[in-house]
Structure 1
Amino acid sequence: MGAISTFLWLDGQAEAAAEFYTGLFPDSHIDEKTHTTMDYPGGKEGDVITVAFTLSGRSFIAMNGGPGHPFTDAISLSIDCSDQAEVDHYWSALSEGGAPIQCGWIKDRFGLHWQVTPRILPRLLADPDRAKARRVMEAMVQMVKIDVAAIEAAAKGARH
């Protein structure tokens, strides 16, 4: 079986998106740009139609498919952040021209949805002490960007 790639349909922004994402994440690069050999609803002959890129070691293809197919939050990419500094770094970059949502979710300027999640959050939400997990969940649902210190305080039963 061949590799599985995530395919992203964009409206004329495939190159810009691929360049932004590969510049943001480590172990990332543009692999190949393909130019169309004819006019099509999303562009003209000679335009870039697809950009294959690697994002943190994973394969993606961005296509200039034209209008009418925006991303929804039914699909998102999740970033596993080691600490608050990483959360802040990715949150800042992805929110530029984008829209923060809630519970660590954000829609970037290309319309793609992301979950910027500190590694500790899923661990605390799965804690066998269900009262602790509930306090963490209650704290998280009140947040837009996740605050690691606040969820740790909630886990301990304290307010941050």
Structure 2
Amino acid sequence: MAILQSTIARPLLLGTRTMQWVSSVIAMGIYAYFVHKQHHGTHIIFNLVISVLSVVFFLPAFLSPFKSTLLSKWVALIDMIFSYLWLTAFIFSSQSYNYGNVYFNAPFGVKVSVKHAAEAFTFLAFFFTVLGLLFETMTRWVDADHDPIVREKHHGDARAPLDAPANTTGAAAV
């Protein structure tokens, strides 16, 4: 059953990683356009910085579905951090593009549909980051069930291991 779960989880994880990265790239392009149109606006700058960092930091995540290693632990940590950052970016975009006359909100003069597209891709980046974190964790658990148990071996040591029963009758018992 666990092998079946692993064979299903890995393609799902790769698909999630692809959607996560593509959403970040599209959001980065839209927010870069916003900055080009109007240089101020802390929400726009924050969202652009998060999307640029995501594009860079999500690249190693493409390797994690193929081999579960130490990299998977780092990818899960990156997903956890960026899920909160993308949630904050989504809240900022929702505040900017859902209240009042959206056309006059920063950046001024950009179509409302483009602003809503930025909000949508911000949400998608958040959603796929959380989904990637869940699939990464699930894949790590499945792989941990198949890892062999490694027992300690005592080589070259004449004495018995510390958890061995005491020898009370032999020559060493003196």
- TM-score, length basis structure 2: 0.24
More strand per residue: 1 or 2? 1
The structure that is helix-richer by fraction is 2
Q: Give TM-score scaled by structure 1 length.
A: 0.26
